[in-house]
Structures are given as structure tokens and as C-alpha cells.
Amino acid sequence: MIRSPAVPYVLPFAIFLGFLALRSVFPLPELTDQILRLVVLTLVLILVARPVIDLRVQRAGASILVGVAVFALWIAPDLLFPGYRHHWLFENSITGSAKSTLAGDAQMQPAILILRTLRAVVIVPIVEELFWRGWLMRWLIAADFRSVSLGAYTAQAFWVVAVLFASEHGAYWDVGLMAGIAYNWWMLRTRSLGDLILAHAVTNACLSAYVIVARKWEYWL
């Protein structure tokens, strides 16, 4: 059977979105849900995506700084302008609202918090960077995306990916757009999937720590 070369890049993200859709239709107990997501996505990355995952980092220090900067951008509007997130631009029938899917009792369970953090820091950066900047940013330039080098630039590819990345983040679409621009720019500079995964992982690690310490559960949609 002939398999599309896009499958290792796209399938993990499709399953990631599938879990989000499944949660709204068929909610599972929180611990079961967290374990299932972590296990399934890990297996898909190992069994399907492993040949295209490149974790080599060329500019570790700078990538860490980019990750921290994106985290700062993510929380800055809500710190500077309390109530900002409740404006109709961010809370509406299209974007939803800044409300955590993690129930109150789950917020007190260490096992759930550890699993949720592991997924955010280890799994999600790989899944999302494979799709957004490993595949889509190149596919928008040429259908034969493997002929396009990582970090290749066209204005259309850059901005379409940034806007779609923003739309993935619901009520946080504005900071999602800034993050998408920053990550796209860093891909142009490094041309390295490993550096993007590291930067994204640092952002998510900082955000997860902030969520737990400051009890800002709304950031975990």
C-alpha cells in the first residue's frame, strides 16, 4: 500500500484534534482521558512519525529564550489589562471562552497535573511542530513539500500558518497569533525542527508551571 509522505506529519495532529472533539461528545473520567491521550499520541509518534522527527538542536540557548519570550507574550495581556480576555472579541460563539476543560476536582489531583504537563511539554510540541512548520508551511509552497526546505519563506505560507495556528487557540487567538508569528520567524532563522520543538516545549513548560502555581487554569483549554 502506498502511503502519502504527509502522513507522519499530519496523522499525530489529526489524532490530537480528534481527542479534543471526542471530549465534547463522549467525556471520559479525567485521569482516564489524560492517560489515553498521552499513551495514544506517544505510540503514534513512535510508530508513525519517528522517521521524520528530528530533535537535533542547533541554537539551544536562543531557542530557550524564544520559548520564554512567547510565554511572556502569552500571559502579558491578561496581566496588564485585567478583564481583557472577557471582551467579545475573545469570548463569543466562534472562539468560545477562556475556560479550562480541567474540572475543579481534577485540579487538585497530582497525577492528573503531572500527566497534563507531560503532554503539554513533551508530546504537544512535537505534534504541533511536525504539522504546522514541518509540513503545512512547506506544503503551502509546493504540493511536493519534501522538495521545500524547512524554513523556506513565502508570505502566503508564513501568514496562513500563523493565522491558522491562532485559530487553534480559541479565546486566546490573539496571543496564539503572536506565538505563531514568533515560531514561524524562528523556523526561518534556524531551519531546524529540533529548535522549534525546544522553543515550543519551553513555552509550554513555563505556561504549565504558571497555571499550577498561580492557579490560572483557564490557560489549559
Widest CA span in the chain: 55
| 56: DSSP letter | -
Cα Rg for the chain, rounded, in angstroms?
Answer: 17
> Please, how many CA atoms are within 13 Å of residue 55, restricted to the half-sphere of its CB?
10
Q: What is the pLDDT of residues 166-198, one digit of tens each?
A: 999 999 999 999 999 999 999 999 999 999 999
Q: What sections of 45-109 are H helices per DSSP?
A: 60-80
Residues 6+ apart with CB under 8 A from 167: 173, 176
What is the residue extent of each domain of the chain?
A: 7-219
Least confident range from 15-19, 103-107, 139-143, 215-219: namely: 103-107
pLDDT, position 101: 77
Q: What percent of the chain has pLDDT over 70?
A: 99
pLDDT at 2 over 60: no
Least confident range from 108-117, 129-138, 190-199: namely: 108-117
Q: At 21, is the pLDDT very low, low, confident or very high (cuts 50, 70, 90)? A: confident
Residue 97: closest CA among 212, 204, 219: 219
Phi (first) and psi of residue 20, to 5 degrees: -65, -40
Q: Grid coordinates standing for 40?
A: 495514544
Judging by beta carbons within 10 Å of its beta carbon (0-12, 13-18, 19+), is residue 159 exposed, middle or buried? middle
